[in-house]
Amino acid sequence: MLLPPPKVQEGALSRLKIHSKKYVGKRGIKEIRAHFQGNHLFLQVVKEAKGGLIGRMFGMGEVRGVGRLARLEYLGPNKWKFLIYKYDTEKYGPYPDFTEGAIEACLDAAAR
């Protein structure tokens, strides 16, 4: 298991934050989150949806929902293995059209 050095982790999170801006505001996406656990980088999406009757009555606005997107495994400098989260099995699994690449390409594949 190859662990990403701290500088690689910082760089990956920074690159993801910059690249995710092209998705924020589309399809209800409020934010894309990422966190490391060992040599894996987990991606999550934060979505907002209209708050329904109770939300409107009490001025609550919109309700957030957090969902899993993908798990990236560090393979080396600028190379990540991509596994998409499959809600039907509640597990991470291979994506048919994309298996590995740069961190930005992984985020693009997750957003499809």
How many structural domains are present in the chain?
1
Residue 53 is predicted with a pLDDT of 62
Residue 30 is predicted with a pLDDT of 87
Banded model confidence at residue 63, pLDDT cuts 50, 70, 90 = low
Task: Quickly list H helices, the chain.
Answer: 6-20, 52-57, 103-110
Average pLDDT, the chain: 89
Asked whether residue 39 is assigned to any structural domain, the reply reads yes
Q: For 97, phi and psi rounded to 5 degrees?
A: -100, 0
Q: Would you report the helix, strand and coil content of the chain in percent, each value rounded to 5? A: 25, 45, 30
Asked whether residue 66 is assigned to any structural domain, the reply reads yes
Above 80 in pLDDT, residue 56? Answer: no
Give the mean pLDDT of 64-86.
Answer: 94
Asked whether residue 1 is assigned to any structural domain, the reply reads no
- Read off the pTM: 0.84
Banded model confidence at residue 59, pLDDT cuts 50, 70, 90 = low
Q: Which domain holds residue 93?
A: 6-110
Asked whether residue 54 is assigned to any structural domain, the reply reads yes
> CA end-to-end span of the chain, whole Å?
29
Residue 38 is predicted with a pLDDT of 94
Q: For 49, phi and psi rounded to 5 degrees?
A: -130, 155
Helix (H) or strand (E) holding 64: strand 62-76
Asked whether residue 14 is assigned to any structural domain, the reply reads yes
